[in-house]
């Protein structure tokens, strides 16, 4: 007895067509064009999730750097000092502290400064 593959094919195509439901013209109506468009869209989604993570990390670094420089220190030395002090706060949390609680951030900077020999502006 041969296997009927109709239901599986229909389900696969239905899934793709549902993903392409908002597209215009043939991209939303014909399977061949919808499949190409959905595949490219999914590739873009994956890539942009990675880019978003990268963008947020750079934003946090800019915020931390601005707050640290206002207190007369540099970002690199600050991170080095925190590592030497054993502080395991990530950059997201450091940026949030820098914005919302400057007094606590000042204490972190002093802690980092005590762990790193700082030669001033070179």
Domain-embedded: residue 30: yes
CATH, residue 86: 1.10.1900.20
- pLDDT of res. 122: 47
Total Cβ atoms within 10 A of residue 9: 10
For the chain, count helices (H), then strands (E): 6, 0
Domain-embedded: residue 1: no
Domain-embedded: residue 3: no
Give the domain range for residue 14.
8-115
pLDDT in tens, the chain (122 residues): 888 999 999 999 999 999 999 999 999 999 999 999 999 999 999 999 999 999 999 999 999 999 999 999 999 999 999 999 999 999 999 999 999 999 999 999 999 999 987 555 54
Domain-embedded: residue 122: no
- pLDDT of res. 1: 84
Q: Dig out the tokens for 119 from the structure.
A: 């030669």
- pLDDT of res. 121: 53
Domain-embedded: residue 95: yes
Q: How many domains does the chain have?
A: 1
Give the Cα separation of 97 and 111 in Å (integer): 15
């Amino acid at each position: 007895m041969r296997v009927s593959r109709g239901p599986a094919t229909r389900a696969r195509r239905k899934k793709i067509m549902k993903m392409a439901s908002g597209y215009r013209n043939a991209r939303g109506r014909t399977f061949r064009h919808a499949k190409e468009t959905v595949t490219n869209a999914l590739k873009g989604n994956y890539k942009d999730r990675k880019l978003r993570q990268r963008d947020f990390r750079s934003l946090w670094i800019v915020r931390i750097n601005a707050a640290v420089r206002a207190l007369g220190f540099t970002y690199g030395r600050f991170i080095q000092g925190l590592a030497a002090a054993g502080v395991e706060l990530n950059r997201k949390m450091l940026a949030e502290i820098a914005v919302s609680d400057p007094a606590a951030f000042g204490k972190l900077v002093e802690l980092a400064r005590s762990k790193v020999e700082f030669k001033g502006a070179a």
